[in-house]
Amino acid sequence: MTTTHDVEPASPTPPPKKKRDKTHWLYSAVIVAVVGGVIFGLVAPDTASEFGVLGTMFVSLIKMMISPVIFCTIVLGIGSVKAAASVGKVGGMALGYFIAMSTFALAIGMVVGNLIQPGNGLNIQSDSAAVDKLVGQAEGAGGTMDFIQSIIPTSLLSSLTAGSVLQTLFVALLVGFGLQAMGKQGEGILKGIGSIQKLVFRILAGILWLAPIGAFGAIAKVVGDTGIDAVIQLATLMLAFYLTCTIFVFGILGTILRFVSGVSIFKLCKYLGREYLLIVATSSSESALPRLIAKMEHVGVQRQTVGVVVPTGYSFNLDGTAIYLTMASIFIADAMGSPLSIGEQVSLLLFMIIASKGAAGVSGAGLATLAGGLQSHRPELLDGIGLIVGIDRFMSEARAVTNFSGNAVATMLVGTWTKTIDNARVKDVLDGKLPFDETTMVDDGHGEARDPETKPDLVKS
């Protein structure tokens, strides 16, 4: 007779702990710094004015990152254009729509900024020696032909060190198209540039931890110089930005979605409610990227369409960022008593259309793009970046939510135009008859979120 011994089952290996996101501490620190800077500026205005050097130093750190950020995002962005265009009709429609809507969003930001003129009357003066040097360089640049000639750098690598944003942009375009022409041979180089981009953004993320110090110095100086007017003007800019984003999402995007796809923007936003909460908590639309892919498939859009539109949209469909860039530029120019002419605004708008690609989900990239645009057009306005830093975090949620909403709507629209969407399933899902299964929502299994038995029969073309 054999005896059996009860063997205790091995305890399951506990899942690895996720690295805790500490960016909420940065958010809190910026808020405290802004409030402290306002109080300091009101209580001791003369002393507070001397603390402006802290904001200037922070701006210098951001300026240091402009060229590598723009170079990496443009080169990788051109690579994504090639990937998107390879799928033919879907990619072409998506890219055309993205360019049109980003341009429209930039134009809306320009119109609102000119109407409300939130920085008008502050007359902030720059005392940075570095910025004064840039002004001298800009004034001695010569005529139009000299300006065009200055875009071509001395060498391929000097564009990354000379501090000229236009030279960096020019070389990035050459490298991007050159890698496209190399085909598969260029994929390794693209991966290498992708790794460099991760390093650049890691450095930028570290610099952003100094944002509370920069914000304190910049806000303290502005309030010390101008009094309570600065606080009122900053609040006006924030409210105008939030209102503009709201009108853009529910007015512009909602109207297009209703007429093209017959879908209510309110129902779509309700369906994506958890994703909005996630974005607000992280101040990044990229945090909800996997869930957006899964939910767009679940709602009835073909997987291939979702796989092209959503990732490409995260680089090329940045409606919230576009509105922010133009409004912030106009605010800084007005606040420093040197308004941008309409011609300068249009030129800056065109620059932002190109340079903002790839900024979604990357903390600080929007700020670097804004600094790059000002440096390329009006370098004497760079000191105003320190003022924007103090409220940038307050506007980041609106930017991220608007970007996310724009990509969700774009997926529905492109699905409708290419007839790769099941309209009956869309109605059932948005009406709550086919709820999204949260238990199968995992990063590497988006397709499992949809029951095979209810997989939509795509509309035939």
Q: Cα(367)–Cα(394) distance, rounded to whole angstroms?
A: 13
DSSP 420: -
pTM, to two decimals: 0.65
Summarize pLDDT for 300-324 with one digit per residue, the tens. Answer: 988 778 877 887 787 678 888 888 8
Q: Cα(250)–Cα(148) distance, rounded to whole angstroms?
A: 41
Q: Cα(416)–Cα(398) distance, rounded to whole angstroms?
A: 27
- Choose between 176 and 15: higher pLDDT: 176
Q: What is the mean pLDDT of residues 405-427?
A: 91
Helix (H, G, I), strand (E, B) or coil at 262: coil
Q: Which residues pair with 373 in a beta bridge?
A: none
Q: Cα(428)–Cα(421) distance, rounded to whole angstroms?
A: 13
Of 440, 323, 413, 340, whose CA–CA distance to 381 is shortest?
340
Phi and psi of 313, rounded to 5°? -60, -30
Highest mean pLDDT among 11-25, 47-61, 191-205, 387-401: 191-205
Q: Residue-wise over 38-75: b if at least 16 C-beta within 10 A, else e?
A: bebbeeebeebbebbebbbebbbbbbebbbbbbbbbbb
- Choose between 219 and 410: higher pLDDT: 410
Q: What is the mean pLDDT of residues 147-176?
A: 74
From residue 243, alpha-carbon distances to 15, 74, 112, 147, 395 in Å are 43, 30, 10, 38, 11
Q: What is the mean pLDDT of residues 256-269?
A: 93
- Is pLDDT above 90 for 265? yes
Q: Cα(387)–Cα(59) distance, rounded to whole angstroms?
A: 10
CATH architecture of the domain covering 31-454: Orthogonal Bundle (1.10)
- Is pLDDT above 80 for 143? no
Q: What is the mean pLDDT of residues 325-349?
A: 81
User: How is residue 101 written in tokens?
Assistant: 């809507």
In the numeric block, the tokens 């879907």 are attached to 90
Structural domain spans, the chain: 31-454
- Is pLDDT above 80 for 227? no
User: How is residue 117 written in tokens?
Assistant: 């003129």
CB 293 within 8 A of CB 307: yes
- pLDDT number for residue 406: 92
- Is pLDDT above 50 for 120? yes
Tell me the torsion sign for CA atoms 251, 252, 258, 259: positive
Q: What is the mean pLDDT of residues 75-92?
A: 64
- pLDDT number for residue 144: 46
Please enumerate in sequence order all residues whose Cβ is within 8 A of that of 121, keeping only pairs 6 or more positions apart, or say none. Answer: 229, 233
Of 235, 243, 294, 283, whose CA–CA distance to 396 is shortest?
283
Name all contacts of 307-311 with Cβ < 8 Å and 24+ positions apart.
308/84, 308/87, 308/90, 308/91, 308/94, 309/90, 309/94, 309/407, 309/410, 309/411, 309/414, 309/415, 310/407, 310/411, 311/80
Least confident range of 329-338, 375-384, 405-414: 375-384
